Structure 1
């Protein structure tokens, strides 16, 4: 099983591939995984960045034979020629690329276009040709799909992780895919027999900022103010500033408030996850909160006002943030 197979492919039998999606880190990860497949081990591996190397370099690599007469697998980053904003000075190169891609099935080399853009210009002739001649893999992931994609990705790379271990990894990565991949790369280096254990995650992956802030808020909501202030002091000593912390506090309060409102309107847990587009674990935690909606609204207003006062320079000291925590 390949990582490309985790997504919809327009023609999986076609090796010429366009990876399309906004997340450049994730797209590069998928592209590297593809180029490392055993079937490409004897290929020359070439990377061309269109923004830094230029289109002439790309065209040269597409039309010239390998120095060692080997097949090449060419990873093309930032293929801006697929977007709407292409300067007129590149018209000659665009025409050359059009001719090359129209006849891509005659090329012995493999081309992987990594287009990390919100959208490409599907109206232009060159883009239409690429979409028709390449296997198109769109890597967009909805927030509630992060867990299932991560689980499938870990399995596809030959590693094992328990469901509780997966949840722990997601929590410590804030359910952010790029962070998950970075942490997964760390864990791969130490995973014995391909097994990623909870103990290894605990030892090697630190609590995220959001998790630490959530722990502060949770302690305060339970009126464990000493623990909350100690945790807050730890975050401040480690370099976090009040504005950073308030942003996460506000985000947590907004989520709890939204979940409670939707719950009042009769939405199920699964419906709330889909409607808010967040990870199921965050919704489950929010549903467990017992604070009245009126109190949450008041706290959120206080957090927004406090954030404003820090940003406009009226407040400088940490004591105002500590007073906010003590009023939870």
Structure 2
């Protein structure tokens, strides 16, 4: 069940006694948890709502909250976050009798309690008896990461549902500045809504001014400048990143990732694949492919591979020595010097 379906069911009073929210998408986890919190009035929450962080609470604490009777109300809502005891990671030591007790509770959950297990992980340890019992009786809420190719459409739909509009160019820039992260984009929406008043149209200048650049976006500026052979601009931005105390190894890793995309895009485009087909093949957002296609247009595959190989070599040097990061970066730039008259393919 997705979060939207959960909202509809809770609104109509279709409430189960046991839920599992599973997945790493922070925004979906938070939205789902907030829906359960709103099942109770402000007065009811005082005595009948409990939130346990399982990195500090015990399974015994959780079992006690789940089995307690509602006080001056019809229902208790208990939310347990970070349940590492359900994963392969041992986490906080838990008593076996408490684990057995919670397993038995999962088999027969109390009808007067809505117990929500919020697990921000890609998966649980399916070998464990407690996980099998939870899976058997809990309503599963999907909070897995939104695929990069679907992020734009989902965010645009959320904006429309809220009564706002976003221009296509603004959405594309929003995706780039947020590294196509659904959760990152959702956290930026409130200020974009406020900034778009009174016409409720989110424009390109608004996104440019209000959405901060991520490190990935800053490194993209370096990659894009290199691809356009604007060497001075690329060097300037890279120097600024170093001056801002960004870790050279991390910068190099991001450059490796972006040049890998350029190489892959160049190869697939030469095979005749369209922008959408390349995006599907590489599991990235189509807008990233659009930018990559623009970047690789004037560069040969040989040049791209040479830059990529140099960056891989730099990674080895960063891990084994303490080289001058600017010198290594300039060695990458050197490969972009295409001899006059040579075909760039």
Task: State the TM-score bracket (shorter-chain normalisation).
Answer: 0.7 to 0.9
Residues 123-171 of structure 1: per-residue CA shift (max 9 Å, x gap): 5443333323322122223232222233344445565433333222211
The corresponding residue for 2:4 is 5
Residues 4 and 137, structure 1, Cα contact 8 Å, conserved in 2: yes
The corresponding residue for 1:41 is 41
In the TM superposition, residue 185 of structure 1 has moved relative to its aligned partner by 5.0
Distance 2:183 2:95 in 1: 33
Residues 79-130 of structure 1: per-residue CA shift (max 9 Å, x gap): 34544567996332233223333333x5223222112223224454433333
* Among 267, 275, 283, the residue aligned to 1:269: 275
The corresponding residue for 2:241 is 235
Residues 4 and 34, structure 1, Cα contact 8 Å, conserved in 2: no
> Cα gap change, 1:139/1:193 in structure 2, threshold over 3 Å: closer, same or farther?
farther
Distance 1:149 1:272 in 2: 20
In the TM superposition, residue 300 of structure 1 has moved relative to its aligned partner by 1.0
1:98 aligns with 2:99: no
* Among 307, 319, 323, the residue aligned to 1:299: 307
Residues 291-322 of structure 1: per-residue CA shift (max 9 Å, x gap): 11111111111222233333332522524423
Q: TM-score, normalised by structure 1?
A: 0.83
The corresponding residue for 1:28 is 29
Q: Which has the higher contact order (CA 8 A, sep 6+)?
A: 1
Q: TM-score, normalised by structure 2?
A: 0.79
Distance 1:46 1:243 in 2: 43
For these two proteins, the number of residue pairs brought into alignment is 323
> Cα gap change, 1:123/1:233 in structure 2, threshold over 3 Å: closer, same or farther?
closer
Distance 1:310 1:97 in 2: 48
Residues 153-198 of structure 1: per-residue CA shift (max 9 Å, x gap): 4445565433333222211111123432333355456553693623
Gaps of 5+ in 2: 337-345
In the TM superposition, residue 226 of structure 1 has moved relative to its aligned partner by 2.4
Distance 2:248 2:125 in 1: 42
Gaps of 5+ in 1: none
1:321 aligns with 2:329: yes
